[in-house]
């Protein structure tokens, strides 16, 4: 009976397993829903916004949300200090956040995976040098590094992406290297080596496929982290130029009016919480699906 | 143990040298540090003046030697904005930041320890849900937004706490809660999973089967294990909170180094920025060193390694 159950577990495809875990663990489903909503907003922003996100109308500036007695459902989340529709700006803001998060992680993961593979596989001096530099960057308070570099380079979307991509790479180097070392010690790699498999075959056939699970999980959490940090930079006036609707820029503007018009700061922050909640739930779920060693944590 | 200590001290020294290299090149990222250190609309004469004043004309190696030589003596040059030695300005601001950080840490521990232990020892109950909920919220609520919302509710609406400044106990509460919310979540998660893991160990079952009261098992066996986990991430947490204080201190006008970083960056006062960066990194490096030593003292397995 017990052996049967184990067998069944093994014949399931990853897709079936994913489906089963989603159904068993409702939080994964919530994560998919939250993240899906944000992704939808980012992709179809131009078609779903009720108003222009940049057009100013000072006659209706700082109008409270629709449910407020002074509000108007024409602007469901109210308007900002320049009379721009909050809802439309939040929808457009998701584009900046997801772009920075996605490309930032892509760069960080590419650099980190490459260097981590080299360090973990070759070992020796190269390993020491790569890990020395990685640990060095991890020793500096991350936010400080990011803030200073952003201030030196100036406000632009490309700069922000590059900053996150490069400063986040050491984390991926460390994780990749750790996984490579673990996988190299495993029985199946040892037997492949003793059967005469060449390094290329071991790296591409054995190590890389096993790296994808853990790295993808970390990538989800890191992407959520970058969305956080981008908003933080925007809050300090160091992210994308002020004309672009981003959650951080909106927060920075809202801060000035916190006393009498708190919704201007409240809603972009809620959007960040919404997104990061989705990505964290998604990450937990991915870990359960992709990383068998962690699976018991789901129960 | 001695060999372990020796290697860790050498490593920390190398790390600090690396920090100096990074902070040196950090202000030269655009290729023209003189341009970086003046306002964006500055005249070419002003840029040239800065270039000469800061010695950016000299060969890079000479500039670097000068930088390291000064740094070793604690000299990071004059702050461009305050016209005073940078490191002295930083040190003046340190007590306020340490006070805030400790308050935040205290807040985080005060709630995470009971929550994590109760949640972990009663899986599936409402306490467990609460512990997991806070663990998740700590990760997903940005501290700068939380700070603004705390001001809206507790300063503007309820008028319980001041909106900004550093004047007595009431003024530290909101900034400490905002800064401590992330560690609160992280500690809760760590403690909960540590308790869950320890609970299933044989010696805990033995302790229970001997008829030892639950609170005794918790305090004697489980809490000791959990404290190891906590100590091991304390250094990392301090580094995080130093970063987080950039927002929190700016929002609450708290006169610490976090606010100073923001001001220095906005004023393009990069000698001051360098001093802050080196100080903060040094602080974290020393703290990590101390944590590792403490860790080695608590956990015999590390002491006897190699």
pLDDT of A199 > 70? The answer is yes
Q: For residue A6, name the pLDDT band (cuts at 50, 70, 90).
A: very low
A-contacting residues in B 26-65 (Cβ below 8 Å):
26-27, 29-30, 36
B-contacting residues in A 183-242 (Cβ below 8 Å):
224, 228, 231-232, 235-238
Query: How far is Cα B125 from Cα B122, in angstroms, rounded to an integer?
Result: 6
Question: Is B84 inside any structural domain?
Answer: no
pLDDT of A12 > 70? The answer is no
Supply A116's token pair.
């981590």
CA atoms within 13 A on the CB side of B261: 33
Question: Are B136 and B217 found together in one domain?
Answer: yes
Cβ pair A231:B247 closer than 8 A? no
Cβ pair B240:A141 closer than 8 A? yes
Q: How many CB atoms lie within 10 A of CB B172?
A: 22
Cβ pair A236:B265 closer than 8 A? yes
Number of domains in chain A: 1
> Mean pLDDT for chain A?
83
Question: Is B284 inside any structural domain?
Answer: no
Burial label, B114 (beta-carbon count in 10 A; 0-12, 13-18, 19+): middle
**Set of chain A residues whose Cβ sits within 8 Å of the Cβ of B150:** none
Tell me the sheet residues that pair with A79: A85
Residue with tokens 């870990």: A287
Question: Is B82 inside any structural domain?
Answer: no
Query: How far is Cα B195 from Cα B230, in angstroms, rounded to an integer?
Result: 12
Residue (of A220, A113, A112, A96) closest to A158 by Cα position: A96
Q: For residue A295, name the pLDDT band (cuts at 50, 70, 90).
A: very low
Question: Is B67 inside any structural domain?
Answer: yes
Query: How far is Cα A152 from Cα B270, in angstroms, rounded to an integer?
Result: 9
Out of A13-17, A19-23, A224-228, A256-260, give the one with best mean pLDDT: A224-228
- Domain end call among B227, B251, B283: B227
The C-alpha of A245 sits at a distance from chain B's nearest C-alpha, in angstroms, of 17
Residue (of B188, B192, B160, B171) closest to B103 by Cα position: B171
A-contacting residues in B 110-139 (Cβ below 8 Å):
136, 139
Percent of chain A whose pLDDT exceeds 70: 89
pLDDT of A122 > 90? The answer is no
Write the pLDDT tens digit of every residue in B207-232. 778 877 777 777 777 777 777 777 77
Q: For residue B173, name the pLDDT band (cuts at 50, 70, 90).
A: confident
Question: Are B104 and B199 found together in one domain?
Answer: yes
Query: How far is Cα A111 from Cα A172, in angstroms, rounded to an integer?
Result: 8
* pLDDT for A273: 92
Closest CB to B281 among A139, A149, A280: A139
Supply B295's token pair.
């860790």
Write the pLDDT tens digit of every residue in B53-63. 888 888 888 88
**Set of chain B residues whose Cβ sits within 8 Å of the Cβ of A259:** 156
Local structure of residue B252 (DSSP, 8 states): T
The C-alpha of B8 sits at a distance from chain A's nearest C-alpha, in angstroms, of 13
Cβ pair B284:A272 closer than 8 A? no
Q: For residue B305, name the pLDDT band (cuts at 50, 70, 90).
A: low
CB distance from B80 to chain A under 8 Å?
no
CA atoms within 13 A on the CB side of B295: 18
Supply B234's token pair.
């304390």
Number of domains in chain B: 2
Question: Is B42 inside any structural domain?
Answer: yes
Write the pLDDT tens digit of every residue in B66-97. 888 888 888 888 888 888 888 888 898 999 99
- Longest Cα–Cα distance of chain A, Å, equals 77
* pLDDT for A284: 82
Query: Which is higher by pLDDT, A221 or B217?
Result: A221
- Domain end call among B20, B37, B72: B72
Q: How many CB atoms lie within 10 A of CB A71?
A: 17
Rounded to an integer, the average pLDDT of A80-96 is 85
Query: How far is Cα B294 from Cα B288, in angstroms, rounded to an integer?
Result: 10
Q: Return all residues near A9 (Cβ < 8 A) that are at least 6 apart.
A: none
Q: Return all residues near B118 (Cβ < 8 A) that are at least 6 apart.
A: B127, B131
Is the distance from CB of B9 to CB of B289 less than 8 angstroms? yes
Query: How far is Cα B94 from Cα B257, in angstroms, rounded to an integer?
Result: 6
Query: How far is Cα B221 from Cα B200, in angstroms, rounded to an integer?
Result: 12
Closest CB to A143 among B136, B243, B266: B243
Cβ pair A273:B266 closer than 8 A? no
* pLDDT for A293: 57
* pLDDT for B180: 92
**Set of chain B residues whose Cβ sits within 8 Å of the Cβ of A141:** 239-240, 242-243, 280-281, 284
**Predicted ipTM beyond 0.90:** no
Question: Are B112 and B214 found together in one domain?
Answer: yes
Residue with tokens 């100073």: B260
Question: Are B103 and B203 found together in one domain?
Answer: yes
CB distance from B281 to chain A under 8 Å?
yes
Helix (H, G, I), strand (E, B) or coil at B85: strand
The distance of Cα B266 from the centroid of its chain, to the nearest Å, equals: 21
Local structure of residue B78 (DSSP, 8 states): B
* pLDDT for A1: 40
HEC profile of chain A: CHHHHHHHHHHCCHHHHHHHHHHHCHHHHHHHHHHHHHHHHHHCHHHHCCCCCCCCCHHHCCCCCCCCCCCCCCCCCCECCCCCEHHHHHHHHHHHHHHHHHHHHHHHHHHHHHHHHHHHHHCHHHHHHHHHHHHHHHHCCHHHHHHHHHHHHCCCHHHHHHHHHHHHHHHHHHHHHHHHHHHHHCHHHHHHHHCCCCHHHHHHHHHHHHHHHHHHHHHHHHHHHHHHHHHHHHHCCCCCCCCCCCHHHHHHHHHHCCCCCCHHHHHHHHHHHHHHHHHHHHHHHHHHHHCHHHHHHHC
The CATH number covering residue A18 comes to: 1.10.3720.10
**Set of chain B residues whose Cβ sits within 8 Å of the Cβ of A135:** 15
**Set of chain A residues whose Cβ sits within 8 Å of the Cβ of B15:** 135-136, 139
Write the pLDDT tens digit of every residue in A145-181. 899 899 888 889 999 999 999 999 999 999 999 888 8
CB distance from A251 to chain B under 8 Å?
yes
CA distances from A69 to A38, A78, A216, A262, B61 (A): 29, 12, 46, 15, 66
CB distance from A258 to chain B under 8 Å?
yes
* pLDDT for A98: 93
CB distance from B244 to chain A under 8 Å?
yes
Query: How far is Cα A252 from Cα B145, in angstroms, rounded to an integer?
Result: 10
**Set of chain A residues whose Cβ sits within 8 Å of the Cβ of B266:** 151, 237
A-contacting residues in B 134-153 (Cβ below 8 Å):
136, 139-142, 144-145, 148-149, 151-152
Query: How far is Cα A265 from Cα A250, in angstroms, rounded to an integer?
Result: 7
- Domain residues for B9? 2-72
Cβ pair A140:B277 closer than 8 A? yes
Write the pLDDT tens digit of every residue in B101-134. 999 999 999 999 889 888 888 888 888 888 988 9
Closest CB to A236 among B139, B262, B276: B262
Percent of chain B whose pLDDT exceeds 70: 97
* pLDDT for B297: 76
CB distance from A76 to chain B under 8 Å?
no
Cβ pair B148:A153 closer than 8 A? no
Question: Are B115 and B223 found together in one domain?
Answer: yes
The CATH number covering residue B163 comes to: 1.10.3720.10
* pLDDT for A186: 80
Closest CB to B148 among A135, A258, A277: A258
Percent of chain A whose pLDDT exceeds 90: 24
Question: Is A7 inside any structural domain?
Answer: no
The C-alpha of A221 sits at a distance from chain B's nearest C-alpha, in angstroms, of 10
* pLDDT for B306: 45
Question: Is A206 inside any structural domain?
Answer: yes
pLDDT of B282 > 80? The answer is yes
Rounded to an integer, the average pLDDT of B174-179 is 91
CB distance from A159 to chain B under 8 Å?
no
Q: For residue B300, name the pLDDT band (cuts at 50, 70, 90).
A: low
Chain A to chain B, count of Cβ pairs less than 8 Å apart?
132
Question: Is A3 inside any structural domain?
Answer: no
**Set of chain A residues whose Cβ sits within 8 Å of the Cβ of B141:** 273
Query: How far is Cα A269 from Cα A275, in angstroms, rounded to an integer?
Result: 10
- Domain residues for A185? 14-298
Is the distance from CB of B248 to CB of B258 less than 8 angstroms? yes
Question: Are B126 and B40 found together in one domain?
Answer: no
pLDDT of A112 > 90? The answer is yes
**Set of chain A residues whose Cβ sits within 8 Å of the Cβ of B267:** none
């Amino acid at each position: 009976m017990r052996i049967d159950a184990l067998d069944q577990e093994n014949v399931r495809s990853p897709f079936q397993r994913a489906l089963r875990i989603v159904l068993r663990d409702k939080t994964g489903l919530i994560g998919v829903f939250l993240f899906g909503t944000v992704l939808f907003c980012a992709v179809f922003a131009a078609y779903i916004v009720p108003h222009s996100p940049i057009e100013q109308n000072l006659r209706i500036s700082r109008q409270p949300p629709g449910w407020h007695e002074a509000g108007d459902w024409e602007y469901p989340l109210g308007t900002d200090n320049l009379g721009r529709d909050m809802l439309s700006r939040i929808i457009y803001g998701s584009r900046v956040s997801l772009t920075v998060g996605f490309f930032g992680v892509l760069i960080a993961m590419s650099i980190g995976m490459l260097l981590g593979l080299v360090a973990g596989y070759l070992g020796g001096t190269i390993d020491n040098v790569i890990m020395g530099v990685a640990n060095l960057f991890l020793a500096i308070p991350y936010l400080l590094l990011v803030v200073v570099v952003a201030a030196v380079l100036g406000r632009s979307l490309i700069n922000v992406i590059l900053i996150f991509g490069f400063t986040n790479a050491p984390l991926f180097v460390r994780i990749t290297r750790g996984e490579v070392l673990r996988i190299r010690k495993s029985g199946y790699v040892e037997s492949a080596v003793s059967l005469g498999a060449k390094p290329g075959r071991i790296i591409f056939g054995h190590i890389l496929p096993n790296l994808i699970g853990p790295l993808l999980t970390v990538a989800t959490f890191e992407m959520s982290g970058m969305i956080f940090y981008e908003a933080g930079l925007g809050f300090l006036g160091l992210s994308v130029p002020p004309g672009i609707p981003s959650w951080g820029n909106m927060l920075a503007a809202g801060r000035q009016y916190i006393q009498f018009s708190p919704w201007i700061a409240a809603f972009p922050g809620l959007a960040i919480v919404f997104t990061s909640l989705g990505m964290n739930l998604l990450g937990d779920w991915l870990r359960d699906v992709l990383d068998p060693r962690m699976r018991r944590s789901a129960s | 143990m001695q060999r372990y200590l020796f290697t860790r001290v050498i490593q920390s020294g190398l790390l600090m040298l690396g920090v100096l290299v990074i902070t040196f090149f950090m202000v030269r990222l655009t290729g023209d540090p003189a341009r970086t250190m003046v306002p964006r609309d500055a005249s070419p004469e002003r840029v040239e003046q800065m270039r000469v004043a800061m010695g950016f004309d000299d060969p890079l190696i000479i500039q670097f030697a000068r930088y390291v030589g000064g740094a070793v003596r604690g000299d990071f040059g004059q702050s461009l904005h305050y016209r005073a030695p940078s490191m002295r300005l930083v040190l003046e601001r340190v007590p306020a930041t340490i006070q805030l950080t400790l308050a935040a840490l205290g807040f985080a521990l005060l709630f995470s320890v009971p929550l994590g232990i109760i949640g972990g020892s009663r899986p599936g109950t409402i306490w467990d849900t609460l512990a997991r909920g806070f663990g998740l919220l700590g990760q997903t609520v940005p501290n700068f937004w939380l700070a603004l919302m705390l001001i809206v509710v507790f300063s503007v609406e309820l008028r319980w706490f001041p909106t900004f400044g550093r004047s007595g106990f009431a003024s530290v509460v909101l900034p400490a809660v905002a800064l401590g919310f992330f560690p609160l979540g992280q500690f809760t998660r760590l403690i909960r999973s540590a308790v869950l893991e320890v609970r299933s160990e044989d010696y805990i079952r033995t302790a229970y089967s001997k008829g030892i009261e639950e609170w005794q098992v918790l305090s004697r066996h489980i809490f000791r294990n959990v404290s190891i986990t906590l100590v091991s991430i304390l250094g990392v947490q301090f580094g995080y909170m130093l970063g987080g204080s950039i927002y929190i201190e700016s929002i609450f006008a708290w006169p610490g180094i976090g606010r100073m970083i923001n001001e220095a960056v906005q004023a393009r006062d990069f000698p001051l920025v360098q001093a802050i960066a080196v100080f903060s990194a040094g602080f974290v490096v020393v703290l990590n060193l101390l944590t590792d030593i403490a860790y080695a003292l608590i956990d015999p397995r590390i002491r006897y390694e190699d």
